[in-house]
Amino acid sequence: MKILVCISHVPDTTAKINFTNGDTEFDTNGVQFVINPNDEFGLTRAIWFKEKQGAHVTVVNVGGAETEATIRKALAIGADEAIRVNAVPTDGFAVAKQLAEVVKAGSYDVVICGKESLDYNGGMVPGMLASMLGYNFVNSCVGVEVEGSNATLIREIDGGKETLTTNLPLVIGGQKGIVEEKDLRIPNMRGIMTARTKALNVMEPVAADAKTKAVKFEKPAPKSAVKLISPDNLDELINLLHNEAKVI
């Protein structure tokens, strides 16, 4: 089985979010970047397939050279090889287009994406990629098993879960549950050393026009201070929720 894991390089979950250049760009100053958490769950599942059932795992990122540290981390976790498509991601459509080329060139059986990245929260790449390729697609995936060319998946639905079957080739939009957090791997010294010898191939992008562009960023309006209510005066809370906030 050939698995491709698409990884996005995003600000660490605790990063302070600021904008620069007249609020037209995300300020990367002092920000630590990590593998997008939803993608990391998918990567761990791919490594599991490799170890338990045999699979070749490639990771791919569409991004500038600055994302290579994130890609190396994926190699240190256990991916066999990596591809960086040398293009600054503009929008989900353009990213999906680049990824589609990679998938076609490598004829992967299973493509695992995170259901959304934690920076732009677009949630569009996996579905667009699957559509461009004509592959089967399961989003919000919290479980996957593959046997031969058949796959059984569990998908989150509002208020529950459903089990689905389909066949390969397949694109997955994954999230926590595809593996549990306790099963995530931290690269060990040996992983880090061998990652250095693994191939990180740089591919030049194909022409792909974005269909959207981020024109401006804003921070939420500063919040007014919390209104403290005495524990002895819960009627006041109810009154405020009813008359001021109008939520009950």
Partner 1 sequence: MSVLIYTEFAEGKFKKVALELASYAKKVAESLGTTLTAVTVNAGDVSELGKYGVDKVLKVTDSKLDKFNAKAYADVVKQAAQKEGSKVVVLSSTTDSLYLAPIVAVGLDAGYASNVVALPVSTSPFQVKRNAFSSKGFNVTELTSDVKVLALAKNSFGLAEASGAAATEDFAVTLNDADFNIHIQNQEKASGKVSIADAEIVVSGGRGLKGPENWGMIEELAGVLGAATACSKPVSDLDWRPHSEHVGQTGKPVASNLYIAVGISGAIQHIAGINASKVKVVINSDPEAPFFKVADYGIVGDAFQIVPELTKKLKEFKANNN
**Ranges within 47-76 binding partner 1 (CB under 8 A):** none
Nearest to 70 by CA among 114, 109, 40, 104: 40
- What contacts 144, CB < 8 A, 6 or more positions away? 45, 138, 151, 152, 153, 154, 172, 174, 178
- Near partner 1 by CB under 8 A, which window of 56-64, 80-88, 104-112, 212-220? 212-220
Taking the least distance from each CB to partner 1, the nearer of 102 and 195 is: 102
Taking the least distance from each CB to partner 1, the nearer of 48 and 93 is: 93
Taking the least distance from each CB to partner 1, the nearer of 54 and 134 is: 134
Print the binding letters for residues 121-160 with partner 1: x by CB under 8 A, - otherwise. Answer: xxxxxxxx-xxx-x-xxxxx-----------x---xxxxx
By CB under 8 A, the residues from 20 to 39 that bind partner 1 are: 26, 37
Q: How far is the CB of 94 from partner 1 (least distance, A)?
A: 10
Residue 97 half-sphere exposure, CB side, CA atoms within 13 Å?
A: 16
- What is the C-alpha separation between 74 and 44, in angstroms, rounded? 9
Asked if omega into 187 is within 30° of 0 (cis), the reply is: no
Residue 92 is a binding residue for partner 1 (CB under 8 A)? yes
